Amino acid sequence: MDAITQYRAWVPATLLAALLGGALLPAVAVAAQQWAEGNTYTAGTVVTYNGRDYRALVTHSAYVGTNWNPAATPTLWQDIGPASGGGTPTPTPGPSPTPTPATPSPGGGGTCGYAAWNAGAAYTGGQRVSYNGTAYEAKWWTQGENPAQSGQWGVWKAVTCSGTPGPTPTPTPGPTPTPSPGGFVVSESDFNRMFPGRNSFYSYSGLVQALSAYPQFANTGSDTTKRQEAAAFLANINHETGGLVYIVEQNQANWPLYCDPGSVYACAPGKQYYGRGPMQLSWNFNYGAAGAALGLPLLADPDLVARDSAVAWKTAIWYWMTQSGPGTMTPHNAIVNGAGFGETIRSINGSLECGGRNPAQVQSRVNAYLSFTQILGVTSGNNLSC
């Protein structure tokens, strides 16, 4: 559809290198845990595997049978040297009460004695709660998302007392999902002003649901910084999708081309990884890395990004928060660290637009950003172009 599609047609090694561009963390001091399949690892966790220590680059689940071991998945793990007693820092998004499960009763079913779900509490992946007579387990960090309304691809899964997944809860009609306490800095009326002609697929409720995947998004720093980040994100996806009109890449001739056979995220038979969603996610390795980070089967079902509004928004926020593309920092860091809107452009499509390569495309993004910051009542800051 537009230049970002061309950018993502880069040599895959370039993008894979970008996935590894995390800042160095302090040296660790105590024995690291052994890596094992079936566990969920948060970003920053240190594990030992085959005599070496690795640090998780993104939060992900090591699904049994996938063999996503640290040595084989450089997009998920950073090799930090020989095993020498590495610690395991586990960053948490915020205060997270830890519901303590009671001893499960044989046979499963019921609430298993887990603490009742609290809409105001934050839960991390693996924590369990009870709600309306059913036990649920969080797949990733969440706050304020009703377990009974989670659906097949949502944050909660129903479980029996033995831990075996129970039937997927059927969503029940309820109010439009609301952001976590404190509120998203973009109101629904502001969103509608920004995108008056958008496709109904790109719903405000879907965006608000997606915020739980990365709680720091548009929620870091001062109120001005939060609003600038929201405006910058929305201005870039406005450019990528023609004002939130296009859901999939418009150039269908490119659709079969986005499979890198050398990636650790093997292409599924019959699946195509062309641009989808607000950030036009493309390539099998991006679908694989995003799916691993979000706990979603995006390699097996890439069309999920074009079917589920919340999933589509989550993939865009994943890219914004974790990827630096051709730039030197993530778009999130560009705003919260004061580098300016221009650096977000560089991280998304700088190789084709920045440095005078396509000033009209850059100006299109800048114009949207200036409009959106005005709607949100904040200044635009410096360094708008690239």
Give the burial class of 379: count Cβ atoms within 10 A of its Cβ; 0-12 exposed, 13-18 middle, 19 or more buried. exposed
What is the value of pTM for the model shown?
0.57
pLDDT digits (tens, 9 = 90+) for 17-32: 333 333 333 333 457 8
pLDDT digits (tens, 9 = 90+) for 340-352: 999 999 999 999 9
- How many C-beta neighbours within 10 Å does residue 89 have? 14
Do the domains spanning 26-88 and 188-376 agree at the CATH topology level?
no
For 26-88, which CATH class?
Answer: mainly beta
What letter would DSSP give residue 255? G
61, β-bridge pairs:
40
pLDDT digits (tens, 9 = 90+) for 191-222: 999 999 999 999 999 999 999 999 999 999 99
Distance from the Cα of residue 165 to its chain's centroid: 24
Distances in whole angstroms, Cα of residue 98 to Cα of each of 38, 172, 213, 338, 345: 20, 27, 19, 35, 39
- The mean pLDDT value for 325-339 works out to 95
Residue whose tokens read 């970003």: 43
Query: What are the structural domain ranges in the chain?
Result: 26-88, 94-174, 188-376
Selecting among 229, 240, 343, 353, the annotated active-site residue is: 240
pLDDT digits (tens, 9 = 90+) for 100-125: 333 333 333 455 788 888 876 777 66
Q: Is 343 a catalytic residue?
A: no
Residue whose tokens read 């996938």: 66
Architecture of domain 94-174: Ribbon (2.10)
Mean residue pLDDT of the chain comes to: 79
- Are 215 and 143 in contact by the 8 Å Cβ rule? The answer is yes
pLDDT digits (tens, 9 = 90+) for 139-167: 766 666 778 777 666 667 888 865 444 44
Q: Which of 12, 15, 1 is nearest to 258 (CA)?
A: 12
**CATH of range 188-376; options 3.60.10.10, 3.40.720.10, 1.10.530.10, 1.10.238.10:** 1.10.530.10
Q: Which is more confidently placed, 62 or 7?
A: 62
57: left (phi over 0), alpha (psi -120 to 50) or beta: alpha
191: left (phi over 0), alpha (psi -120 to 50) or beta: alpha
Least trusted range by pLDDT, from 12-26, 220-234, 245-259, 325-339: 12-26
